[in-house]
Amino acid sequence: MTYFFINLAFHLMISVVLFIILRHFFINNQQRKNKVWISYFFPVVASIILLTQASYFTFPRVLASAEMIRNDFSLQTGTVEEVGFLNNTLVIEGEKYYFNPMIYKPKEGDSLIYQSTNYARYIVKMSVSDTAQ
């Protein structure tokens, strides 16, 4: 659970930094301090990056924080199709899930029973299922 809130704080910090960059570019445009004509488009690029990062990472984690506080998780089973590069993501039956790599490191092909949040698809608890063997 601590890993989830550290991850949430990190993504909130990234969103705040991107917002500050967007604000800086916008103020430069307002005060007409741009030296190159292409720099007028920097606020558009910064806002696209901010919205993409917020919609894929920050907003789902903020919504899932209520589930983490209430301990309201969905219990599911599935087979691991792929393990992410940094061992913090899993693809289980076509869905990408995030998890704390320090609790358990599953391998491809493992059948898991796991509890996850609905919005951020963050796995809280997982164990190997004995039914597939």
* Integer angstrom CA distances of residue 54 from 22, 34, 124: 14, 27, 22
Interval 105-133: pLDDT, tens: 888 998 999 999 999 999 999 988 876 44
Confirm if 25 and 4 have CB atoms less than 8 A apart. no
pLDDT class for 20, splitting at 50, 70, 90? very high
Identify which of 133, 117, 115 has the alpha carbon closest to the alpha carbon of residue 125.
Answer: 115
Residue 122, token pair as written in the block: 């963050």
SS3 90: strand
Interval 36-58: pLDDT, tens: 888 889 999 999 999 999 999 99
Phi, psi of 49 (to 5 degrees): -65, -45
